[in-house]
Structure 1
Amino acid sequence: MGRYRRGHKHQKWRGMNRKQCESSGDGDLTNQMTDSDWMLLESYLVEYRSRAYEAHRFKGKMITWDHEICDVAVMIGNHQFLPLTMATCQRPYINLPHTLNNKERRKVHEICAFLDLYHTGVSCNYGAANSSNVPTEDEGRQNPPLIRRIAVSIYVDGLEFVLGNGADDSQSFLSRCRPWYYRAYGNSTKSDGEKKDDHDDGVFKERIYAIEMQKRQIRQFANLPEKSLRTIDGGGQSCDSLDFSELDVLDLSMVSTPADTPWMMVDTVEKLILCVDELIYGAGDNCNDNSRSAKIRELAFDLEMHNIGEGKSGIRTCLLQLTSDVATTIVDDQSGHSKKLYKDFIVDPLAPGLWDAVSTYLGPIFSDPNIVKIGHGIGGMDVSSLHRDFGILVVNAFDTYEASTVLSQRKKGMGLASLCRHYGLPDWEHYKELKSTYQCSNWCKRPLDSSALEYGRYDIRYLVTLRKLLMRDLAKMDMLGSALQVGSTLEEDSSNGLKSAHVSNAEASLGNSIDLRVDSTITDATSSFSDNDFIDGSGHVDESADEDLIESSSSLPFSSPISIIHAAEFPCYHHLMKAISLSQKRCLMLWSGDEVEPILRNPLLLSLIKQAANQKGHAKYWSDVHMQLYKNLVEWRRYTARREFNTVDGICSLNFLVFVAYKLPTSRCAMRRYSYVLPALLQDDTVPYCNELCEIVKSSDAFQRQQHSPLSEIKSIDVVHYSDHFVTEKSNERRKIMKMLIASAVCGAAIIAMTRARRR
């Protein structure tokens, strides 16, 4: 029975995944390209390559071909490709259909690499998707990109016309932002001949010792969550206390929206110092006053990351969003009314000088146990990324995702958008739309879109208030205990996302003793989470659970009137302490750095080995000498990562090394056929890594065997430049003008000489 249930569940999930893929268009079986379609696509690219080279040899002159095979649009599968006319092949590049899905585009990139074609992915709007002309200057100033396509060229500089301002250097930024973990723990990997910096060694050792002390404190908070509670602050007031007279009337509609909240983009060290000062003391406070006391109690944070490699070691932090509970009081001079104003901050760690400054200025705030750090799903990648990139540990945190898990009494919590909807956020639909659009976007691109920055502010704007609301409902669960009788179906309110339920007579009799607002608040905390609100760690909605009735059988005993719960009384509330304990445990999910890449299990490498064994396909000439070269390149990448204090993915990807081992490029231009945006270290002429890679290729047995091999399939194609056409045409025009001027001068001189001779 157990095996049947597991198999039935697995089959159900497979069906759900299939439906999800079909709805997105990437997994529709009816639209997938067959083997014959892929063969036709390869023939199309080969024909384009031959015709484009022929057009290049004629220097842009109009010619006619005898074999007009592709003078009409070509249908391959369900995709329409451009006709390979003379006008099309004379352009610097051609666009492939934007209807190709992600898997098909990935395979097209591999085919182009084997055919020695320059290729790159391009984001564009719908109007420019089917266009094959060179983009104008105004095309890059349009709305945010909506679709993706592939541009193919035979020229080294052909793709510069489609990219506008040149190659995308976002990967260069991320490769230069070295993770703190590898700089600190990899500092001992220097050889004896290399220069060591004693100052850096002392700084890293001191910071590592501080991290170990912070780990002890986090473990203490996880085992004894009551130790993390702040009973009295500097002003003599209780920090962690629940005032039900205020919390019962509180919802997210009372919080200012991102549109009504001022914010600052932190892209310099000076702005980062100002950001820290305003987070702690408030905006507009006198920075020169040394006697002022810190006002910050809660810090809401979130991170946006991007993966530049194949595994988890290639993830880099691209954005930090911060806001605190410190408000600045602004008094209107005319009306005299005062208004509390909060401020959000978006830190760009990729800006010059900010990567190393983040740990210096933001590290003390995250490590202060008297400041509660609030996040949603911090155990996913937020905590590990802060530790890996900046050496920052989060001490004393509250995870709203874990709190919603305890509150719902299920294994999965709610997404942040659904949680905001549950607690009465009026514009939750706008937030959900932004989340679906920008959650998986490329956060390393600069400049960032205004809507993307708005989405980043939504992720932190309501966290401080959500912590109060979740703590209120968790405390009410323990106050009612198992005595509450609630019989209600999970019914969704379309107006504000709240749920309704019926209350028993035993609950109604407690209205005078405990003001719990059972009709709206208690039922929200215990049974109002709908199944569609529960998500897993990856952000997918869990719709597998059945809706049921939440019932209990006993009655709530009489208790004394309660309006305020102080921090010293929190240990009596089991669910509240459980949420705090789980949040502290998530702070221990740090970066370990011991991830081992399966270099011999790379999918592209396995595909080459399989094709070589069958003696067919692009890689039928893959041999043991190429395998040995690939292993040498992997060792070079590992050694380079040690010297640069970086991850191996930060140097280059395994797919790039596989192509280098097979195609044997000996120059930077030849390498760009396999990855148009080269890794930063291979583009930089100030470091010797590109020359080292080329020397490894030239000294390999595979390269020596290729020099004496008659097989034309493995020989590379000559490098050509598209700009040569314009240079040649301009030079020819100048020569013609000079010849005309010289001829006219000679004729004029001859005429003058003849007239003078006649007069004599």
Structure 2
Amino acid sequence: MGRYKRRGSKFRQNRKKSENSGDGDDGNNYYSPAVMMGESDWIVLEKYLLEYRTRAYQAYRVNQLSGIGNHDINQLDDAPVIIGKHNFLPLTSENCRQPYLDLPDTLNSKERRKIHSMCAYLDLYHDTAGVESVQISGAVSDSTESNCAKNVSPPTPARRISVSIYEDGLRLVPNRDVDADGGVSQSFFPSQTCRPWYYRAYGNSTNTNINTINHEDIQQRVDAIEKEKVQIRQFANLPELTLRLPDDENPAASCDDLDFNILDQLDLSKEPTPDETPWMLVDTVDKLKLCVTELLYGVGNDGGSPKIHELAFDLEMSNVGKMGSSGVRTCLIQLTSDVATIMVDELSGSSKKVYKDYIIDPLAPGLWDAIPTYLGPIFSDPSIVKIGHGIVGMDTTSLHRDFGILIVNAFDTYEASAILTQRKHGMGLVALCHHYGLPSWEYYKELKNKFQCSDWKIRPLEKRAMEYGRFDIRYLVTLRKLLVRDLVKMDLLHSSAYLRVESSDEEDIGVDLVSEQETQSDSFEMRIDSSASSFNEDGDMPAANHSLKQFESVDGAGKLLPATGNSPPSKTIILASELPCYHYLMKAISISQKRCLKLWSGDEEEPILQNQSFISMMKQAASGTGHGKYWSDDHMQLYRQLAEWRVTVAQREFSSAPELCTLDFLVFVAYKTPKSRSEMRRYSYVLPKCLEDETLPYFYELREMVMSSDAFHLRQSHSLPETMNDVAYYSDRSILHEHDVRQNRLVKLLLTSAVVGVIAVALRARKR
């Protein structure tokens, strides 16, 4: 799934190795693999950046190189500077005169994060440009489309850091995350128009500019959510209530009767692929209305009773501003239903069933606020089974947080696969599709490896990325039928592990489970003896078992007998009214409902005293070393005030506090006490939106807090090293140079005119 993934045990092991690697890290960057450079390399790199800053200022002021110090690196040589395993540009006069200096693109993500932190405290402007490389099937590839075709443009440069002493110097860097005018790039999340429903419902806004929501509608939705929670708990406690029984008044209505004669012939090999399925990108409100109509009634129909019985869904999310789970926002919603449209070929007269997929772009104008109105009733309808894979990962919380939507009556294919295999974790969707005979599973896996962790807020959406999103929903409706079939057979066999999966060819998605306290009212708990469970840990995943050869019949004495060929069970039809007797199926349904109670709580904010930048600052202050050695109680007091101010602003802006600005940024402000936007940009060249917007008062509030603090007066009294306040503008330097050129030309013209005049007077006098 292309969701924002929570890390699992493998990640924690890598994190522990990183913490114990002794690489000189400052404690700010735990969420990445161990860096390559050692502590001595970081010391040399800091000297390199300081020397660049000195030389660049000298080149700006006197336009010549002077005062070269004796450092650990050879500054006079034109050869690249080797630090660790990276080649840095030599600090020649020509390089230091440029508006910016590019650092090597061989630095990994953790090294780049640490350099960003270092530049902030060295008073250097710094930003990132280029595209991150990703690992695909053992080969490194750009996150853009492959350039294997002829006559294609050259690939985008790899991810790198650019540093500068000029406030406007980084605007000249190509492939930056923001454009040359300082505006936001296409990857920016429109936070002003895509405000999470949760904060609008439970916030306390006093900002009249954005306080335009309908509080009556919000309150009605809050009341409806409480009723939906009760219904979800009821379904979790009594999963048989979710089953669809035959309707005497409407015999054509769908029910959950099982016919093994049909189901045993079912697999994914005959299901239409995304290439064979029509689809629509929903990027306007009118298209959203059409999407809902076609989901309910089918293509070309818009009347009568709804035909939908099952809705497959998935979400793609992105972390806005690297703020942990508080910064995750929904960037894509994929939907498809079980409603088929009968298409007749006029030439041959043959007919076929056609399904249609939908990709909804919540970031498109007007869609964010329209989604709760049009999609909310479908997700809350208990008669429609919502099918997802690993919905507890982030799907349930994102729908609740961003749109106020709850999922009533769900079936989680991930949880069903976990019960069938009797493992702690379920199977990944690619592995599950492979097991049930999807011919194109390898292509699906390739798309997953490339796009699962993409930046989904980038627009326009890439064609293959949308194809991957459609793979995530295309087979869920059929997978539910297959899993229900096998869960029932698992009970018929009295077996504790029906799917004999030796190993998975992809990692588990690592979803978090709902705590027992959240579902303490649910009493449904089936205890199945798992002593007969055995797993062969050797070998690869078994081939697709379409005919279910591992099925075993039961004799009169209750003993398990080997399967004979492709024989179906002796009982070929099971009525929906009988399904409550099948414990494993009921267990899968019950757990799926419990996962729908994993809602957004709004309290996932990082405690201010547990922030890694703050902890690193305290350690450096205690040891008297590093950039934070001057941290004092005055800075601590300002930091607390800034954190309280951030919470207040978040309530006024209907947002989470980390989305406004990170605690790392507040630690920097409390320590460096910047009094202008240009000084703040030395921490992050792209400031938080609330501080960039001139129509909002928050920058002036922040500046007033800083300038009235004891920490600011302490720095102004020269007790601490001064921040470099003389900001250089590269464009001003160019204008000044042009002005000097014009002035020189004017002087030369005047002198030439004077000489010509003297010569002319002399010639006239001679003629006389």
Shorter-chain-normalised TM-score: which range? 0.7 to 0.9
Matched, 1:348 2:320: no
The structural deviation recorded for 1:260 is 2.7
What is aligned with 2:385?
A: 372
What is aligned with 2:311?
A: 299
1:317 aligned to which of 307, 321, 330: 330
The structural deviation recorded for 1:651 is 1.0
CA contact (8 A) 1:116 1:717 kept: no
Alignment of 1:155-554 (within 5 A): 155-162=166-173, 163=176, 165-166=179-180, 168-169=184-185, 170-171=187-188, 173-174=190-191, 176-186=193-203, 189=204, 200-232=214-246, 236-285=252-301, 287=302, 291-307=303-319, 308-482=321-495, 526-532=498-504, 535-538=507-510, 547=537, 554=559
1:603 aligned to which of 612, 615, 623: 612
1:76 aligned to which of 80, 83, 87: 83
The structural deviation recorded for 1:55 is 2.1
Query: 1:755/1:143 Cα in 2 relative to 1: closer, same or farther (>3 Å)?
Result: closer
What is aligned with 2:664?
A: 655
Q: Which moved more, 1:397-406 or 1:77-86?
A: 77-86
The one-letter code of the counterpart of 2:261 is S
Query: 1:722/1:265 Cα in 2 relative to 1: closer, same or farther (>3 Å)?
Result: farther
The structural deviation recorded for 1:613 is 1.7
Q: Which moved more, 1:628-637 or 1:338-347?
A: 338-347
Q: 1:510-548: CA deviations, max 9, x gaps?
A: xxxxxxxxxxxxxxx8243122358544289xxx97638
Q: 1:618-648: CA deviations, max 9, x gaps?
A: 1111111111111110010011011112111
CA contact (8 A) 2:205 2:653 kept: no
CA contact (8 A) 1:480 1:556 kept: no
2:730 aligned to which of 713, 722, 731: 722
Query: 1:563/1:752 Cα in 2 relative to 1: closer, same or farther (>3 Å)?
Result: farther
Counterpart Cα distance in 1 of 2:700 and 2:535: 58
CA contact (8 A) 1:125 1:144 kept: no
Q: Secondary structure at the match of 2:736?
A: helix
CA contact (8 A) 2:390 2:511 kept: no
The structural deviation recorded for 1:235 is 5.9
Percent identical across equivalent pairs? 56
The structural deviation recorded for 1:345 is 1.5
Matched, 1:108 2:108: no
Q: 1:426-475: CA deviations, max 9, x gaps?
A: 22122212222222222222223222222222111111111111111112
The one-letter code of the counterpart of 2:604 is E
Q: 1:644-667: CA deviations, max 9, x gaps?
A: 121111111000000001111111
CA contact (8 A) 2:639 2:670 kept: yes
What is aligned with 2:630?
A: 621
CA contact (8 A) 1:281 1:326 kept: yes
Q: Which structure has greater helix proportion?
A: 1
The structural deviation recorded for 1:412 is 1.4
CA contact (8 A) 2:205 2:211 kept: no
Counterpart Cα distance in 2 of 1:204 and 1:356: 12
The one-letter code of the counterpart of 1:659 is F
What is aligned with 1:695?
A: 704
1:120 aligned to which of 124, 127, 148: 127
Q: 1:209-241: CA deviations, max 9, x gaps?
A: 111111111111111111111224756333323
The structural deviation recorded for 1:28 is 8.1
| CA RMSD, 1 decimal | 3.8
What is aligned with 1:496?
A: none
Counterpart Cα distance in 1 of 2:262 and 2:433: 19
The structural deviation recorded for 1:56 is 2.1
Counterpart Cα distance in 1 of 2:115 and 2:452: 26
What is aligned with 1:154?
A: 165
Query: 1:718/1:448 Cα in 2 relative to 1: closer, same or farther (>3 Å)?
Result: farther
The one-letter code of the counterpart of 1:218 is I
1:705 aligned to which of 690, 705, 714: 714
Q: Which moved more, 1:529-538 or 1:92-101?
A: 529-538
What is aligned with 2:25?
A: none
The normalised TM-score by structure 2 is 0.80
Q: Secondary structure at the match of 1:481?
A: coil
Query: 1:642/1:560 Cα in 2 relative to 1: closer, same or farther (>3 Å)?
Result: closer
Counterpart Cα distance in 2 of 1:381 and 1:719: 44
What is aligned with 2:518?
A: none
Query: 1:757/1:339 Cα in 2 relative to 1: closer, same or farther (>3 Å)?
Result: farther
The one-letter code of the counterpart of 2:728 is V
Counterpart Cα distance in 2 of 1:725 and 1:428: 58
What is aligned with 2:137?
A: none
Query: 1:481/1:589 Cα in 2 relative to 1: closer, same or farther (>3 Å)?
Result: same
The structural deviation recorded for 1:668 is 1.4
Counterpart Cα distance in 2 of 1:728 and 1:174: 39
Counterpart Cα distance in 2 of 1:16 and 1:96: 26
Q: Secondary structure at the match of 2:627?
A: coil
CA contact (8 A) 2:502 2:538 kept: no
Q: Secondary structure at the match of 2:106?
A: coil
The structural deviation recorded for 1:292 is 2.8
Q: Secondary structure at the match of 1:350?
A: coil
Counterpart Cα distance in 1 of 2:61 and 2:45: 25
Q: Secondary structure at the match of 2:236?
A: helix
Counterpart Cα distance in 2 of 1:559 and 1:611: 70
Q: Which moved more, 1:10-19 or 1:384-393?
A: 10-19
Counterpart Cα distance in 2 of 1:216 and 1:642: 29
CA contact (8 A) 2:388 2:411 kept: yes
Q: 1:37-65: CA deviations, max 9, x gaps?
A: 1110000001111112222224xx67688
Matched, 1:86 2:93: yes
Q: Secondary structure at the match of 1:252?
A: coil
Counterpart Cα distance in 2 of 1:201 and 1:75: 61
Q: 1:337-380: CA deviations, max 9, x gaps?
A: 32332222211212222211111111111111111111000011
Q: 1:161-186: CA deviations, max 9, x gaps?
A: 22272454545524652211111122
Q: Which moved more, 1:235-244 or 1:664-673?
A: 235-244
What is aligned with 2:4?
A: none
The structural deviation recorded for 1:755 is 11
Give the gaps of 5 or more residues in structure 1.
1-9, 130-140, 485-524
> How many equivalent pairs are there?
680
Counterpart Cα distance in 2 of 1:338 and 1:750: 101
Counterpart Cα distance in 1 of 2:749 and 2:167: 36
Counterpart Cα distance in 2 of 1:294 and 1:369: 14
Matched, 1:97 2:104: yes
Q: Secondary structure at the match of 2:504?
A: helix
Matched, 1:676 2:666: no
Query: 1:256/1:97 Cα in 2 relative to 1: closer, same or farther (>3 Å)?
Result: same
The structural deviation recorded for 1:110 is 0.9
Query: 1:14/1:587 Cα in 2 relative to 1: closer, same or farther (>3 Å)?
Result: closer
The structural deviation recorded for 1:741 is 7.6
